[in-house]
Amino acid sequence: MSLGGPTPTIILAAYDSSAREVLACSTMEPSTGRFWFSSKGNGAFLSRFDYHSGKFNSLEGRQIHVNNKEGLKGSHVLVDVDHGFERHYALIAMGNPTIIGNITTAIGGPYDVSGIRHVIEAGGVATCYEILGRKLYSLDNSQDIERADVVISTNNHENLNNLEKVLNSAVTKN
């Protein structure tokens, strides 16, 4: 799948619809030339395209890792309700010291959340959820982006559990 053009990011991903998982993802931010790429079991990487020379600064890229910050206090969680979400996954994967997670609710298709591969390969975690009635359910296959109503990705399991509690509380409120 691919998406780009009028959006702030260009996305190219390989998705296995039988296993329901993202196998590889690349995300480019044309305004800066930043290019993130990851594939299952091989890590997450960042490179940059130099528009003046017409070349990437490195064909291999620099391996990136999520930060190890625990707890939500003093941290930022990105919430996606419009375009830009693919870049948010990449920002978490880069290990920004204050960004620990992302909640994506604007899911029009698998391409909107294929960036979870960046987070997972950089050492983070991601889980897909379905909302039925006024309850949040974690999907059996935590990477089933085709069935997901909401996706949470974070730098570690503790923060994933904390954000799940916050989101569940918001969903169940009358």
Evaluated on CA atoms 166, 137, 108, 86, the torsion sign reads positive
Side-chain half-sphere of 147: how many Cα atoms within 13 Å?
A: 20
- Per-residue pLDDT, 2: 45
- Per-residue pLDDT, 70: 78
Please give the CATH topology (third level) of the domain spanning 2-172. D-Maltodextrin-Binding Protein; domain 2 (3.40.190)
pTM over 0.85: yes
The angle formed by the CA atoms of residues 81, 86 and 92, to the nearest 5 degrees, is 100
Q: For residues 36 and 53, give the distance between their C-alpha atoms in angstroms, rounded to a whole number.
A: 19
Decide: 93 and 100 in contact? Cβ < 8 Å.
no
Per-residue pLDDT of the chain (174 residues; tens, 9 = 90+): 444 444 567 788 998 988 888 999 998 888 889 999 999 999 999 999 999 999 998 888 999 999 887 777 888 888 876 555 678 888 899 998 888 999 988 787 777 888 899 999 999 999 999 999 888 899 877 778 888 899 999 999 999 999 999 999 988 876
- Per-residue pLDDT, 4: 45
Q: For residues 88 and 54, give the distance between their C-alpha atoms in angstroms, rounded to a whole number.
A: 26
